[in-house]
Amino acid sequence: MAQIGYTMMTEQAGPRELVEHVVAAERAGFDFSVTSDHYFPWLDEQGHAPYAWSVLGAAAQATSTIPLMTYVTCPTVRYHPAVVAQKAATVQLLSQGRFRLGLGSGERLNEHVVGEGWPAAHVRQEMLVEAVEIIRDLFSGKSVNHHGAHFDVENAKLYDLPEQAPPIGIAVSGPSSCEIAGRLADLVIATEPRSELIEAFERHGGAGKPRVGQIPVCYDPDRDAAIARAHEQFRWFAGGWPVNAELPNPEGFAAATRFVRPEDVAESIPCGDDVETFVEAVRPYAEAGFTEIALVQVGGDHQLPFIEWAQHKLLPELKNL
């Protein structure tokens, strides 16, 4: 039985609203929560991008039981891995052990802002491996000096450490990232229901570890309104990660998706309020071997109605997957 999670999507709501939403999700019975970590929204229509780590700190204090997780943080360009280790340890303490650190190789959309350029994909993966090693060393409590191919760390040490370090998840999209995740991660993260990703992760050392997926949905009693909103705010989703990782700003995503039609979006995102349609959209993740599936409700102003509907209608059915 897969656990069903809720997504605090920082691209579509402000910080106070995000915390309000995760409080409601906890009350509604979602099994866990995740949050994106963006500097920009994908599209200007989404309209938000608060600092995810401040939101996580507030959410840790406002909730009491729901697990929290970054989905995902890039610990290589915009953030130095030594700083990621410090803030992850802090959120683990604030949440009293409910935090997991989801990591990935990032998107140009968010990482270019510090002016360090955008490395090639294979370099980004090398950087991620080195970053994970630094983070784990700091989680161990020792003083770290590191001079590697991509990062320097000089006499760093974390003074506020939780009893249990945050588990580390790594996002995957192909064979190379699956090998890295299987070797280095405590759990795997993916946004496509592809069983070959799970199989590769397990083959490289991930057997028995949690497998976390994510799917966008667009609840609305008016299906046409749901389709229109999904097209307005989520048509970027049609690009796929090889494209999405490379575009530099919301204007680029708007241009790249100008020919995506509402009906195209409706084919990949369940829209409306038919419970069975939503269940059938989520089912491939369970069948592919995901043990946890986070839902992303499209539209920042439509979270609370979705959560209420999910509590009474959707979650009871998804629990049967």
In whole angstroms, how far apart are CA 67 and each of 63, 175, 186, 292?
9, 29, 15, 12
Do 59 and 18 meet the contact criterion of CB atoms below 8 Å apart?
yes
* Residues sharing a CB contact under 8 Å with residue 115, sequence separation 6 or more, in sequence order: none
**CA 152/CA 84 separation, integer angstroms:** 14
Selected catalytic residue, list 38, 112, 231, 302: 38
**CA 109/CA 252 separation, integer angstroms:** 9
Write the DSSP assignment of 206-218 as a string of letters: ITTS-EEEEEEEE
Helix (H), strand (E) at residue 226:
helix 223-234
Write the DSSP assignment of 77-103 as a string of letters: TTS-HHHHHHHHHHHHHHTTS-EEEEE
CA dihedral of 72, 73, 76, 79, whole degrees rounded to 10: 170
Residue 38 annotated as catalytic: yes
Selected catalytic residue, list 11, 17, 45, 107: 107
DSSP secondary structure code for residue 75 in this structure: T
Residue 151 has which token pair? 């990062």
Q: How many CA atoms lie within 13 A of 303 on its CB side?
A: 22
In whole angstroms, how far apart are CA 12 and each of 6, 85, 180?
14, 26, 31
**CA 129/CA 127 separation, integer angstroms:** 5
Reduce the secondary structure of 34-46 to three states and give it as a string: EECCCCCCCCCCC
Identity (one letter) of the amino acid at 292?
Answer: E
Question: Which residue from 39, 71, 2, 102 is spatially nearest to 319, judged by alpha carbons?
Answer: 2
In whole angstroms, how far apart are CA 168 and each of 60, 158, 272?
18, 17, 35
> Which residues are part of the catalytic machinery?
38, 107
